[in-house]
Structure 1
Amino acid sequence: MQKTVLVPYAHLPRAHHDRHVLTSTVDVCGTAHWLLAERAPQPGGDVRSFGALVVSVDPGGNVELTELSAVRARWPHLDRLPDGGFVVAATRARRYEDANQVQVFDALGRETSSFSVGDAIEHLLVDEAGCMWVGHFDENPVGIRCWSAAGRLAWTSDDAHIPGLFDCYALNVSGTTAWACPYTDFPLVEIRPDRTDRPVRVWANCVRGAKAVAVHGERVAFYGGYGEERDRLAYGEISETSVEPTDAGLLTLSDGSGPGRRRVVGRGSRIYVQAEPFTTWGVFNLSS
């Protein structure tokens, strides 16, 4: 089976390797961010706020540090806002006061607001307009929602007629457009809330279990799957009503092995993959 090797993309500077990586992401502009704490969170016990450091590495390799005060989420999601601030969200809302689940920080690392988006966050990705796209997993099967940075619900999949939307397995946000591939039916879904004629388009898809999706024109790539297809990279062409499979292979590290435990972020034509110990991002680009 053909292997596609991840291209090295961004590295956490070695000076910060002594801290624990709480989470990491790549934003809509292509800058990689790591949220670091002095030590790993411990399960159970009281939830106490703590100071955290965001290390940002832009596509040119420039490094920026932002100290965040009074972070409350021990198992967080992170992304950057267009004004230079950050959003940090707790995956599980039920362990926190609802009003405190999502924290918004300004560019100086000061908390400016907090609100709730609901339990069981699978993905949280900020678009170029500063809206937060949230996909939930099946312990809170509310689908996909879009929120303003002020905590206002801007769009919801409730009436979007997306088949089998029970768990948002894959979410890709680029520009102000979102793409998804949700469990149980795994359709390819395009969401453009600002489009008045067809804000949501759905294509039937036979690729099951993908954890990330990339789109470039009429071409699409699905990454991940069940069991032995964990490292699968499946290609397809978007037709009028469905995604037609064209090829499949494996997405690997430079040594040809699978990434093992990993994080994935979909942004347009790119799928970013971060393997344990979560200090390095690699990228697959469908447009290359």
Structure 2
Amino acid sequence: MRHTARRTRDPTQENPPAQHTALVPYARLPREHHGHTVLTSTVDVLGTAHWLLTERPPQPGGELPPGELPPFDASVVSVHPDGTTSVTALAGVRARRPHLDRLPHGGFLVAASRTHRTTAGEQVQLFDAVGRETSSFSVGDAVEHLLVDGAGRIWFGHFDENPLGIRRWSTTGALVWSSDGADIPGLFDCYALNVTGTTAWACTYTDFPLVEIRGDGHDRRVRVWSNGVDGARAVAVHGERVAFYGGYTGHRDRLALGELTESTVERTDTGLLTLPDGLPPRRRRVVARGARIHVQAEPYTEWGVFDLGA
């Protein structure tokens, strides 16, 4: 039997102020690149932060259909956990509003969230370590999340305009695993996805259970915990502790903590997650890896981190 400390309610304070937890500065885009356009940014499975940059925003043109972009050149600026930086030039990027992640061999993957916003009909592009495109394939429309795991497999979470759920692909474009038939209740939209090692954690609409997907290949084990925190945009897990970040209107900055029981997530605390200076992030990107939730606020030049395991 597990015992946890519980807070007692102060009857004189019906609506106590929420506890604020400040993000810790994690990675910063070097100042010499601040004049470029940030197309997207992420933190990979090894903890390196990456920015996909262009000198100017890509513009439609030529004889392409309305809204499509001609291929353009971009660069990835990487800030490694030891503070060193590297730059990789990518030639012929096609994705509009792209997702980005690093591949284990040092190359990169760029994917469009919508299949109708790419040229040449291929949604996902793989680049080698010197920035040359090596292959491309499509995974389906409405990509909300893209994360590469420690084995180099590619996880996609889809939103409800194309409710494919959660899928895992190889770098050759083969579908390795799908959430179809995985008995995840109410999976119409993958709200939150966290990939660490070869394990994925998710929180999905409509029921918002906490989902663990573990194993390799097609033989993957799925475990589900019921959960009372709705609308979370990121989830972090450390042992039996869980953190959910974000929510619907009025709860965008919510940080809800909980503990795993046999079948449920029991909430233990709720507060707010702020930028290091104490302000709310407003427009932001969020990437969760293991016990960490990384948050990047506009203008998207700095990452902060909340570490559940710290």
TM range (shorter): over 0.9
Which residue does the alignment assign to 1:218?
240
TM-score under structure 2 length normalisation: 0.90
Counterparts of residues 126-205 of structure 1 (less than 5 Å): 126-194=148-216, 199-205=221-227
CA–CA distance in structure 2, aligned partners of residues 186 and 98 of structure 1: 36
Aligned partners of 1:46, 1:181: CA distance in 2, in Å? 32
Which residue pairs with 2:26 in the alignment? Answer: 9
After the TM superposition, which residues 229-248 of structure 1 pair with which residues of structure 2 at under 5 Å, given as runs? 229-248=251-270
Q: Would you say 1:113 and 2:135 are equivalent positions?
A: yes
User: Given the superposition, is the C-alpha separation of residues 48 and 195 from structure 1 closer, same or farther in structure 2, using an over 3 Å criterion?
Assistant: closer
Contact kept in structure 1, 2:177 and 2:217, CA below 8 Å: no
Q: What is the aligned partner in structure 2 of residue 21 from structure 1?
A: 38
RMSD of aligned Cα (Å): 1.5
| Deviation at residue 227 of structure 1 after TM alignment | 1.2
What is aligned with 2:11? none
Question: Higher mean Cα deviation, 64-73 or 91-100?
Answer: 91-100
Q: Is the 8 A contact 1:84 1:107 kept in 2?
A: yes
User: CA deviation digits over 1:247-271, x for unaligned, max 9?
Assistant: 0100001221110000000000000
Q: How many Å separate the matches in 2 of 1:198 and 1:103? A: 26
2: CA distance between counterparts of 1:281 and 1:137?
Answer: 24
1:224-281: CA deviations, max 9, x gaps? 0111111000001001011011101000012211100000000000000000000000
* 1:32 aligned residue: 49
C-alpha deviation, 1:193, in angstroms: 3.4
**Contact 2:71 2:119 survives alignment (8 Å):** no
Is 2:99 aligned against 1:77? yes
Task: Specify the alignment match of 2:108 in structure 1.
Answer: 86
User: SS of 2:189's equivalent?
Assistant: strand
Give the secondary-structure state (helix, strand or coil) at the position aligned to 2:115. coil
When residues 54 and 177 of structure 1 are mapped into structure 2, their CA distance, relative to the original with a 3 A threshold, is same
For the residue of structure 1 that corresponds to 2:116, the secondary structure is coil
The answer on whether the counterparts of 1:186 and 1:206 sit within 8 Å (CA) in structure 2 is yes
Q: Cα distance, 1:197 vs. partner?
A: 8.3
Shift of 1:38: 1.5
| 8 Å Cα contact 1:98-1:116 kept in structure 2 | no
Unpaired stretches in structure 1, ≥5 consecutive residues:
none
Letter in 2 for 1:238: L
What secondary structure is seen at the aligned counterpart in 2 of 1:94? helix
Tell me how far apart the structure 2 counterparts of residues 51 and 41 of structure 1 sit (CA, whole Å): 9
- Match status 1:260 vs 2:271: no
Deviation at 1:63, TM superposition (A): 0.3
Residue 95 of structure 1: how far off its partner (Å): 2.9
How far residue 42 of structure 1 moved from its aligned partner, in angstroms, is 4.5
CA separation in 2, counterparts of 1:141 and 1:197? 22
Q: 2:88 aligns with which of 44, 50, 66?
A: 66
Q: Distance in 1 between matches of 2:143 and 2:68?
A: 21
Please tell me whether the aligned partners of residues 176 and 217 of structure 2 are also in contact (alpha carbons under 8 angstroms): no
Identity %: 70
Segments of 5+ residues of structure 2 without an aligned counterpart are 1-17, 61-65
1:4-42 CA deviation, whole Å, 9 max, x = no partner? 000000000000011000000000000000000111244
Conservation of the 8 A alpha-carbon contact between 2:122 and 2:138: yes
40-49 or 74-83: bigger deviation: 40-49
Aligned residue for 2:203, secondary structure, equals strand
Whether the aligned pair in 1 keeps the contact of 2:240 and 2:260 (CA below 8 Å) is yes
Q: Tell me, in whole angstroms, the C-alpha distance in 2 between the residues paired with 1:70 and 1:152.
A: 23
Partner of 2:6: none
